[in-house]
């Protein structure tokens, strides 16, 4: 009886422990980036240059999540502990991340040095592999190792920041050293770098399953970073820098909830658990209410953080309260959607997911262009909030169609 009680306690405590590890892991990584490194870069370069760097940073995020993150998610779903069929795909996706990012970096960073662009392209390839390879820790529920891997990345970032502040090296060395420190930890604490290319006959099936996950992740990542892609060509790098600074704190939540969703995915796969329509609708309604309740305190925190971390851009901002209020609420809705995306992966077929993402992107781009043409930066602020609400509404409506009524819990 004691053994049975102990096993039950472990069964319920372990997911909570994993959640805490994952939250702390990603918080340290994102806090280091958003609250230390990026503000330091913004302080040491002019607003136009920082606008381009923030656009490249967003492109980097979209690319490594789409190529590497999607492959890591698929490996968890496939329960590929030995890396069957994945070694070759990892090399291909890393190479594609490099090739795709190069022309985008040249276009959005046309005033940056060519050496910085090339080094950041390499960094993007390494980041793509990082987002794939850390799936091995989540697959084996080794969230303590995932924590240490991200901590190693932070150490590399901070060392690069010191080099940048001392004017010994460029801003791009910050990100490059972070990825290299991660690889150093990975080589010591995992055998994934030593995995052999094993094809058990399912390679093309894996590729076929990867493509829709990639497309869905690509659209989702574009959604979370579309503001930078639209602002830079439509309103210029200074507006891009201001919006990036205003949304930096609230978007930490969005970056954290995505990995938390990965933890939930790992637990669901490990325990073969399913959820009912009623349960998911309750979660969606609760998430919307939570977004409303959290908006005010996060607004206060964001305003203070922007004043301290991005004081130069704080002073440049018109309609600051409107900007922060809309950005905070819109980002909270996107964060809740990212967390609930775990359930959408199971219940929404890829065609439905891609339709919702594509519809949102179309509406976002359309109303952004229309509102910017009439109200400039203020118009874009309203477009961001309206589009975020429409996406949440689409996901809520799709739940009634795609999720079965029977509760499996």
Domains of the chain by residue range? 14-402
Per-residue pLDDT at 351: 77
Q: Based on C-alpha coordinates, what's the Rg of the chain?
A: 21
Residue 394 pLDDT more than 90?
no
12/37: higher pLDDT: 37
How sure is the predictor about 403, in pLDDT bands with cuts at 50, 70 and 90?
low
178 touches 119 (CB < 8 A): no
Per-residue pLDDT at 10: 44
Find the mean pLDDT for residues 11-24. 65
The mean predicted confidence, pLDDT, of the chain is: 85
Per-residue pLDDT at 408: 45
Per-residue pLDDT at 5: 43
Residue 247 pLDDT more than 50?
yes
How sure is the predictor about 202, in pLDDT bands with cuts at 50, 70 and 90?
confident
pTM listed for this prediction: 0.83
Find the mean pLDDT for residues 64-82. 88
Find the mean pLDDT for residues 227-255. 86
Rounded distance between C-alpha atoms, residue 228 and residue 219, angstroms: 15
Per-residue pLDDT at 149: 92
Q: What is the CB neighbour count within 10 angstroms for residue 305?
A: 22
Residue 182 pLDDT more than 90?
yes
pLDDT digits (tens, 9 = 90+) for 216-229: 788 778 877 888 88
337 touches 399 (CB < 8 A): no
DSSP state string for 25-87: HHHHHHHIIIIIIHHHHHHHS-HHHHHHHHHHHHHHHHHHIIIIIHHHHHHHHHT-SS-TTTH
How sure is the predictor about 262, in pLDDT bands with cuts at 50, 70 and 90?
low
Percent of the chain with pLDDT over 70: 85
Residue 401 pLDDT more than 90?
no
Residue 2 pLDDT more than 60?
no
Per-residue pLDDT at 398: 83
How sure is the predictor about 359, in pLDDT bands with cuts at 50, 70 and 90?
confident
Find the mean pLDDT for residues 248-267. 66
pLDDT digits (tens, 9 = 90+) for 144-179: 888 899 999 999 999 999 999 998 889 999 999 999
Residue 276 pLDDT more than 90?
no
Exposed/middle/buried for 110, CB within 10 Å: 0-12, 13-18, 19+?
exposed
How sure is the predictor about 256, in pLDDT bands with cuts at 50, 70 and 90?
low
Per-residue pLDDT at 79: 81
27 touches 256 (CB < 8 A): yes
Exposed/middle/buried for 23, CB within 10 Å: 0-12, 13-18, 19+?
middle
Rounded distance between C-alpha atoms, residue 77 and residue 266, angstroms: 8
Residue 9 pLDDT more than 50?
no
Residue 306 pLDDT more than 80?
yes
5 CB-near residues (< 8 Å, 6+ apart): none
Exposed/middle/buried for 362, CB within 10 Å: 0-12, 13-18, 19+?
exposed
95 touches 125 (CB < 8 A): yes
Ramachandran bin of 260, using left for φ above 0, alpha for ψ from -120 to 50, beta for the remaining angles? alpha
268 CB-near residues (< 8 Å, 6+ apart): 274, 342, 346
* Three-state DSSP string of 263-274: HHHHHHHHHCCC
Rounded distance between C-alpha atoms, residue 154 and residue 241, angstroms: 23
Evaluate the CA torsion angle 70, 41, 56, 231 in order and state its sign.
positive
Find the mean pLDDT for residues 205-213. 89
Residue 65 pLDDT more than 50?
yes
Per-residue pLDDT at 278: 79
DSSP state string for 193-225: GG------S-HHHHHHHHHHHHHHHHHHHHHHH
Per-residue pLDDT at 222: 83
Q: What is the CB neighbour count within 10 angstroms for residue 360?
A: 24
Residue 407 pLDDT more than 70?
no
State which of 176-185, 248-257, 279-288, 292-301 shows the largest mean pLDDT: 176-185
345/85: higher pLDDT: 85
Find the mean pLDDT for residues 281-297. 88
314 touches 307 (CB < 8 A): yes
Using the 8-state DSSP alphabet, how is residue 192 labeled? G
């Amino acid at each position: 009886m004691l053994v049975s009680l102990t096993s039950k306690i472990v069964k319920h405590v372990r997911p909570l422990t994993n959640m805490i590890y994952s939250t702390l892991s990603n918080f340290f990584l994102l806090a280091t980036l958003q609250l230390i490194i990026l503000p330091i870069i913004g302080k040491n370069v002019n607003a136009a240059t920082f606008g381009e760097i923030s656009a490249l940073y967003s492109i980097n995020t979209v690319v490594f999540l789409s190529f590497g993150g999607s492959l890591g998610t698929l490996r968890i779903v496939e329960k590929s502990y030995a890396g069957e069929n994945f070694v070759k795909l990892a090399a291909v996706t890393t190479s594609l991340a490099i090739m795709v990012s190069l022309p985008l970096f040249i276009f959005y960073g046309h005033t940056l040095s060519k050496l910085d662009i090339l080094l950041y392209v390499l960094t993007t390839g390494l980041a793509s592999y990082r987002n794939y390879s850390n799936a091995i820790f989540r697959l084996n529920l080794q969230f303590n190792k995932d924590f240490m891997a991200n901590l190693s990345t932070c150490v590399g970032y901070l060392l690069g920041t010191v080099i940048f502040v001392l004017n010994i090296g460029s801003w791009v060395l910050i990100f490059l050293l972070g990825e290299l420190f991660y690889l150093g930890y990975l080589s010591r604490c995992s055998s994934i770098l030593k995995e052999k290319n094993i094809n058990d006959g399912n390679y093309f099936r894996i590729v076929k399953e990867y493509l829709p996950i990639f497309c869905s992740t690509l659209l989702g990542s574009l959604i979370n970073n579309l503001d930078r892609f639209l602002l830079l060509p439509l309103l210029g790098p200074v507006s891009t820098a201001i919006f990036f600074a205003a949304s930096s704190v609230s978007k930490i939540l969005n970056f954290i909830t995505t990995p938390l969703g990965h933890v939930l995915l790992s637990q669901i796969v490990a325990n073969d658990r399913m959820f009912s329509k009623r349960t998911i609708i309750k979660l969606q309604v609760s998430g919307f209410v939570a977004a409303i309740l959290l908006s005010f305190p996060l607004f206060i925190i964001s305003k203070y953080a922007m004043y301290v971390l991005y004081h130069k851009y704080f002073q440049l901002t018109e309609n600051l309260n409107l900007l922060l209020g809309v950005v905070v609420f819109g980002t909270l809705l996107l964060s809740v959607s990212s967390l609930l995306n775990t359930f959408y992966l199971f219940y929404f077929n890829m065609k439905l997911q891609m339709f919702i993402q594509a519809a949102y992107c179309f509406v976002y781009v359309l109303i952004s262009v229309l509102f910017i043409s009439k109200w400039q930066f203020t118009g874009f602020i309203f477009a961001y909030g309206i589009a975020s609400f429409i996406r949440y509404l689409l996901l809520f409506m799709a739940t009634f169609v795609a999720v079965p009524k029977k509760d499996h819990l």
